[in-house]
Amino acid sequence: MSHQDTYRLLISGGGTGGHIYPAIAIANAWMERHPDSEIQFVGALGKMEMQKVPEAGYSIIGLPVAGLQRSLTLANLSFPIKLFKSLRQAFRIVKDFKPHAVIGVGGYASGPVLYAAQSKGIATLIQEQNSYAGITNKLLAKKAKKICVAYPNMEQFFPKENLVMTGNPVRKDLLHLEGKKSTGIAHFGLDSERKTILVLGGSLGARTLNQGVLKDMEAFEKGGYQVLWQSGKFYFKAMQEALNKTSLRHIHLREFIREMDLAYATADLIISRAGALSVSELALVGKPVVFIPSPNVAEDHQTKNAMAFVSREAAVLLRDGEAVGKLKITVDEVLGDLVFAEQLGKNIKMLSKADAAETIVNEIEKLVA
C-alpha cells in the first residue's frame, strides 16, 4: 500500500457484544500498524456500543436507527422516521469525516452508514460473524469490495469473488491465558481446590442458562464444583434474590464479567450460548465447552455454529429444551472423564483463528492502497 501519514476509517455497527468486540479488535489491530490514523465509530443510540466503544478509547456517534420487530407493534410505526433520520445523519458523517474506507460489522447502524459510503463511491468492507448472514449484510454485500467471513459455504449469501475467510476477530488478551489461573482465582474469590464451571449467557443474559444453573446450583456445590456465573443484565436481580435465599458459598454470581481473560483462565469447563463471537473466543481459549444454542435466532444459526465444532469432537451440544435439569449431568459426563475433557480442549483449540483481526487489516490496507 502507498505510504500515508493519516488514514481515516469509519467503523459502523453494534447492538450486541458479538458485533462490538470484533469491531474494536479490528480497530486495535489497525492502530497497531497505523498509529497516526483516525478511527470513528458509528452505532445505534441506546445500544451497548455507546458505552463499550468509548471504554475502548474510541469516539462514537449514535444514530436513532432501530430494527423492525417481527410482531406488529407500535414501535414499528416509528421505523421509517428513524431510518430516514439515520440515513441523513450517515450521509453527513461520511461527507464530514471523508473516510478512506468504511467497515460494517453488522447491527442496526451498519446499514445507513455503508449505504451512504457506497453511494459516494467509498470502498466498503463487511465483516460477517455468523454462519447465516443477515438481510442487511446480504443487501450491502452487492456493492462491498470485500466480505470477511468466519465460516465456509458463505457464497450462498455473498458474491463468491469478494469473499475472504478470516475468522472472527477477538480480544487480544484472550491469546495469553498462561499463568493467569491463580490471579483469576484470587480475583473472583474462588476455591483453588474445586473445579470451576464458567457459565456465560452473553452481556444481556440467557434465560435457559440461568434457569439451568438455578435448578442445579445446589447439586453443583454438593458435587465439589464451583460456578462462576455471568447472568447478564436482564436476569441479575432475580438470580441474586434466589441465590441470597440459600446458604451456598461456591456459586459466584456476576451481572457482567469484564476480566474475561481471568475468567477463562480459571475455568475447567465452560457452558455458553453459541453466538459467533462466543464460539470464536472459546476456540482460542482451548477449554472443554458445552454449547447450549439459542433457538431464538434466524435460521437457528447458533446450532449451526455449535455443530461446526461438535461434528469435529471439539465441543458438546446440549439442546435448549433439555438444558434445565441436565446441566449437572452433562458437566459430570465431561469432567468425569479427564481424557475426554482434555481432548475436547485440544480439538477446539485446533479450530481457532488467532490472526483474524490482522487478516482483516490486510484486506483494509488493499482497499486504501
pLDDT in tens, 331-363: 999 999 999 999 999 999 999 988 999 999 999
Which class for 3: exposed (0-12), middle (13-18), buried (19 or more C-beta within 10 A)?
exposed
Q: State residue 333's pLDDT score.
A: 98
Binding-site annotation: residue ranges: 16-18, 130, 171, 203, 257, 276-281, 302
In what side-by-side order are the strands of the sheet with 225-230? 251-254, 225-230, 195-200, 269-272, 289-291, 316-317
* Cβ-based neighbour number of residue 54 at 10 Å: 12
So where are the chain's domains?
8-168+354-368, 173-350
Domains 8-168+354-368 and 173-350 share a fold: yes
Binding-site annotation: residue ranges for UDP-N-acetyl-alpha-D-glucosamine: 16-18, 130, 171, 203, 257, 276-281, 302
Residue 329 has pLDDT above 90, yes or no: yes
pTM of the model: 0.83
Which class for 200: exposed (0-12), middle (13-18), buried (19 or more C-beta within 10 A)?
buried
User: What is the rounded CA–CA span in Å between residue 189 and residue 305?
Assistant: 33
Residues 233-255: what's their mean pLDDT? Answer: 96
Question: Which among 250, 191, 192 is positioned nearest to 218, based on CA atoms?
Answer: 250
The CATH-assigned architecture of domain 173-350 is 3-Layer(aba) Sandwich (3.40)
CATH number of 8-168+354-368: 3.40.50.2000
If phi > 0 it is left, if psi is from -120 to 50 it is alpha, else beta; for residue 13 that is left
Q: DSSP states of 145-200 as a string?
A: SEEEESSS-GGGTS-GGGEEE------GGGG--TT-HHHHHHHHT--TTSEEEEEE
Identify the weakest region by mean pLDDT among 10-19, 226-235, 258-267, 327-336. 10-19
User: What is the rounded CA–CA span in Å between residue 117 and residue 262?
Assistant: 39
pLDDT above 90 covers a percentage of the chain that reads 78
pLDDT in tens, 88-131: 999 999 999 999 999 999 888 999 999 999 999 999 999 999 88
DSSP state of 109: T
Residue 225's H or E segment, with its range, is strand 225-230
Query: What length is written for the chain?
Result: 369
